[in-house]
Structures are given as C-alpha cells and as structure tokens.
Amino acid sequence: MDEDGDDPYLWLEELDSPPAVRWVRERNAETLAAFAGDGFVRTKNALREVLDSKDRIPYPDWYGDGLYYDFWQDAAHPRGLWRRTTPEQYRRDEPEWDVLLDVDALNAAEGENWVWGGATVLRPGYDRCLVSLSRGGADAVVVREFDLRGRVFVEDGFMLPEAKSDVDWIDADHIYVGTDFGPGTLTASGYPRVVKRWRRGTALSEAELVYEGHVDDIAVSGGHDPTPGYERDFVGRYLDFYRSELYLRRATGDLVKIDVPDDAGCDVQRDWLLIRLRSAWTVGGVTYPAGVLLATPFGAYLDGRRDLSVLFEPDDRTSLRSYVWTRDHLILTTMTDVRTALQVLTPGASGWQRRPFPGAGELDNAWIVDTDPDNDDSYLTASAGYLRPETLSLGTVGGGVEVLKRAPAFFDPGGMEVRQHFATSADGTRVPYFVVGGATAAPTLLTGYGGFEISNTPHYSGVIGRGWLARGGTYVVANIRGGGEFGPQWHQAALREKRVKAFEDFAAVAADLVARGITTRAQLGIEGGSNGGLLMGVMLTRYPALFGAVVATVPLLDLRRYTKLLAGASWIAEYGDPDDEADWAYLREFSPYQNVRPDRPYPPVLFMTSTRDDRVHPGHARKMAALLREHGYDVSYYENLEGGHGAAADNEQAATLWALTLEYLWRELRGAAVVCGE
C-alpha cells in the first residue's frame, strides 16, 4: 500500500459491518478447511488435555482472610469456577473447594457469554467483593457487587455498566470508581479520565468528584489502603505508559503529590515509600542510576527529608524484576543474564539487612506467587524451567519451606536440553536467547516480544512441549531489546525512533541459529503476539529471507492509524505519534502495513486475532491479510469471535488457536503434518 495514499481496506476496521463479517467468515472457512484432517484434530485434542488437566496447579490468591482463592477452568467448566478453600484442604491432592461463582451457570441463567475478569475483595471485612465480567473476554467489563457469604450478587448493590472501569473499596459503603460517566469522561485511549467517590444507595451520577485528568492522559484511578494503622487514600494519574503522578488524598479531600520523578514507580507500604527509577535521578546531592530501587520513611519524605537507602542497584548483567512485601520484610526478584534469584531485605534500627533466599536451578525461573502482608511473613513461591514443571511452595521468612504442589510433566524431556547463547546484533550488542530441544538441527519455533519493559523468562509450557518439542522440534526464546531483561536501559534502547534495534536483535538471533547449525532458514518459523505481532510483521516485510514461516497473533501492524483504534493512543510513549511528522518519518520505515511490496520473497504467514479484542483492533490483522492476498502472497487468516486481547475465552478456543499455530508452522517447515505423540 502507498504509505501516504488512501487505505483500500479501511472498511475492514468496521468491526461488525456485513462486508467485514462476510470477509472474516470466508477467511476462517478457508483456514479451517485447510486443517480439516484427523491430524489437526488429534493435535488439538492433545493440547486440550494439557489445558484441561485436573493435575495442573491451582495457583491461589490471598486476600487476607486466611483462605486460598482460585479461578479454575476445565472441560466441565469451560468458563470457570471462582472458588476457595482452607490451607489444610489445599494441601490435599483433591481439596474440597467452596464454589463462590460458577460462570457457566451464570451464563446459562442470564443468557450471556460472560468471561471472568477478576474480583476486588473488601478488606478487612472479606464478606463482599466487586466482580468484573466481560462479554467474550474484552477489556471492557461489567462490575457487580457480590456477597461472599451468601454467594449471590447483591441486590441494589454497587453495579457499573460495561466500560474499561477501575474500582476499589474504601469501606463497606463507599468505593472509588473510574468509569464512563458520559461524554468527556474518558481519555483518548478509552480509559477513565475522572475518578469519583461513590456512596452506597446513591445514584452513580451523584458520586463525589475526586480528581479529573487530561484527555491525553492514559487514565486516572483512586485507591484505598486498609492496612490497620496505616489507612490511606491515593489518586493516580497516568500521563503515558511510563510516566505517572501519585497523590496522597487527605481526609479533607486535599491532594498531596508524592515528589518523585514522573517516570519512576513508587509504592507505599506501612512506614515505607519505595521508589524504582527508570532514569537517573539527582536528589540530596547524590545521583542514583536508572534501575535502582530506593527506600525511605514515608512520613519523613512527605515532610521534605530525603534520606534514601539503596535496596538494589543494577549492573550490566543484572536487573530488578519485581519486589513484594510480607508484613515485615521485602522480597526482591532479580535477574542475571535472564536467570532469576531471590533475596530478603528487612528494615531495622541499623538499616536494611539482606539475606539469601532459596532460588531456582540453572536456567530456571523463580517467582513470588503471593504474600499476606496484612497478617504475617508467609509467602507462596513457585519455580519452573523449560523442561521442569512448576513447583509451588509455602514458606515463612526466617522459617522453613513446604512444597504444596508439583505440576505434572506433559511431555518426555528425554534427549532434550536447555542452552543459552548470545547473538551479536547489528550495532555489536550481545543479545541472549534460550534454545530448548535436541542436539541436532530441527524445525525451530523462534518467539520474542521486545517491548513495554516486559521480560521473557524461562517457563514450562505443556502446550509447546507436547505440540512442538515432543515431535522433534526446537523451541527458542529471544530476549531482545525493548523488554525488561536488563532493566529500563534495555527497554529504552528500543523506544520510539530506536525501535529498529529490537528488530535487528531478533534478526541477529535468527541468523545466529542458522550459523550455529541449530536450524536452517527453511526450517525456521517465528511466532509472536500483540507487540510481538508487530515484531512478526516487521520480520515478514523487512527480513523475509530469514524465515520459513510466520505466525502473528492479535498483532499491531498499521502504525499510521494505530492511535485512532481502541487503546492505541496509550502506546505513543512506546512507538511514537504518527500524526507528528518527525515521528512518522521513522515509523513509516518499519510499519508493516505500509511496507508491503509486490514480488518480495515473503514466507507463508498466518494471522490470528479476536473480534472482541478491544485493545489491539482486529482491523490490523484483517487489513494486512487482505493486502497480502491482493499481491498474491501465501497468507492464512483466522479470527476467533471471542477472547479479547488474549484471543481465547476458554480452553477449547485456546487449544484451537495453539493447534492452528503449531500445525501451521510444522506443515510449512516440514512440508507435511506430524501428529503430536507420533
């Protein structure tokens, strides 16, 4: 397409127009017909067994009432059960669960297609919650108050119509709410611009105004910390994806801004303010580098003192992945060359004390599942590796660790190994990647993301294991710039006009795989979703000679119009603004939709998306597929009717999408289908 000309496929952005719906149905029918054989069905069924397995770990949430909460989906409950149990029951192989909400039964009763969107539980009462339900898995949700004791929705309780709402409890009779209050109350990104305090028994239109942001902000929100003795209220304003402002809301309604850099993350827990820097900051005569985590007494900081303690400082190989509080301790998760380690920090009269934490094995990944800071210093931790299923453990800081659950193995790892290599990108940067599989050259699935400071860490996937590795394939994960594997600088190295660095990194990994004899160009397939779908589109149009096949899921592909579609305006800080001539000057160079050309050696490509994705518009994938078809390229397309940005609303849909992905790549890279387990 002419990058500055009229868009011939603009009509495909009309979500439910008859011509667009007809086009989608025709493409879906073509794609499904191509996979109509028994091989695809058996592969899909094998993956469905993984997703529905009753031996999976039910990862719990702690809300502070001493119970374990879990949301569970399987073959008998495709839309899921929200349930809870006691710690004693949870230790059993088959716990007795108290079912709070059966979403399938709710759908049958109400004639809806609800998808679970989570719950916000009232603390410290633990008898009410605000349940979020979306139609088909969209980001927009309906919010309804639920009685945890009676296991029913509260008649005349808090309820919000469908919107991208943000809610939090203040007390049993008041909530903070950001939602669509009418014209002018949403940002350009479609999120709340206004936050109000809503009292039970009154109309939403009567809610008290707390704060108004700007239309060009991403969103605003209000929140309440109910920690006994530390009850506080906060208002957050999110200027863009990486800049925000946090305000303490006094009892009088006055707002006190927390004076930290607007690109820093900050968190208040009991006596402490934590500040996580994305850029260097000079304060009190000291300069702290990007990636540092600082701590300071919150009250003293509000009074103007700047006594900061460095809790973590990065180096060229090590970054902070996350942190979480117990009641009296702080647990850090760090990464060195994308390998995780954990440590415990404890504040005291003589400063912060540091102690080691039981970590993960070589090339494995460990993380904190949850803590219960309202009550004690216990924690739930999990670990896994590409070839090692998850283990979930319960521990107490300074005490012992008890293994609670071990996930089953869904494939035989015999003859497989995990290796880490480093490719050299175009500018000389060393880019790490993991290789999982056998020692000989094989069809290879390479994936990556490279955006929004999100890290790709080792994980166990029964779907990839059974659907790819077990049939002899090799799986590769690239840790390219734009992600968070080496802290904020790794992310910022591929922001906006520097985006091409992420693309060069991925291309370098692809070339390195071939140079090492791990695979060949014809046997190298790639897959990515969302921002990773943009990556796939760039690989297709910019580096077509490197790959044998491409799969892009819920992809972002038209950078000329992305800010005008759904939540696209919220990503300007990541990519740039196409309406700014200076930004469009570089965006036009790699925007996939604008860079489709005739008579290029494009490999076969499959696009998959969801009609109900209200984050990345399905028009991106629709238009790209149509344009490639116009030029006669080998392109397949599948659009799930539900699923939101996750593309699937239940395990049946997820199994279909994964089976399409893996079967498509295997056929293109091997020339014929090989069924899982054969």
Report how far residue 167's alpha carbon sits from residue 194's, in angstroms, rounded to the nearest whole number: 12
645 has catalytic annotation: yes
Residue of 353, 556, 527 lying closest to 445 (CA atoms): 527
Q: Tell me the CA end-to-end span of the chain in Å, nearest whole number.
A: 43
Secondary-structure breakdown of the chain: helix, strand, coil percentages, each rounded to the nearest 5: 25, 35, 40
> Pairing relation of β-strands 330-336 and 339-348?
antiparallel
Beta strands in 148-206 (DSSP E): 152-153, 159-163, 166-171, 174-178, 194-199
User: Residue 289's Cα: distance from chain center in Å?
Assistant: 27
Annotated active-site residue in 224, 491, 620, 645: 645
Which residues are within 8 A (CB) of 361 and not within 5 positions of it... i.e. 6 or more apart? Answer: 383, 385, 388
In the block, residue with structure tokens 């860490």: 457
Written as one string, the DSSP assignment of 6-75 is --TTGGGGSTT-HHHHHHHHHHHHHHHHHT-SHHHHHHHHHHHHHHH-TTS----EE-SSS-EEEEE--S
Residue of 531, 527, 538 lying closest to 491 (CA atoms): 531
In the block, residue with structure tokens 């005291």: 348
Q: What angle do CA 263, 264, 266 make, to 5 degrees?
A: 140
The H-or-E segment that residue 103 falls in is helix 103-110
User: Residue 54's Cα: distance from chain center in Å?
Assistant: 24
Annotated active-site residue in 165, 455, 530, 636: 530
> Pairing relation of β-strands 159-163 and 401-406?
unpaired
Burial class for 362, CB neighbours closer than 10 Å (0-12, 13-18, 19+):
exposed
The H-or-E segment that residue 264 falls in is none
Neighbours of 452 (CB within 10 A): 17
Residue of 464, 443, 419 lying closest to 547 (CA atoms): 443
C-alpha separations of 353 from 288, 311, 348 in Å: 20, 10, 7
Report how far residue 107's alpha carbon sits from residue 560's, in angstroms, rounded to the nearest whole number: 39
User: Residue 456's Cα: distance from chain center in Å?
Assistant: 11
In the block, residue with structure tokens 């506080």: 232
Residue of 152, 108, 109 lying closest to 127 (CA atoms): 152
C-alpha separations of 358 from 393, 460, 535 in Å: 11, 19, 36
SS3 state at 489: helix
What single letter denotes the amino acid at residue 289?
P
Residues with catalytic roles: 530, 645
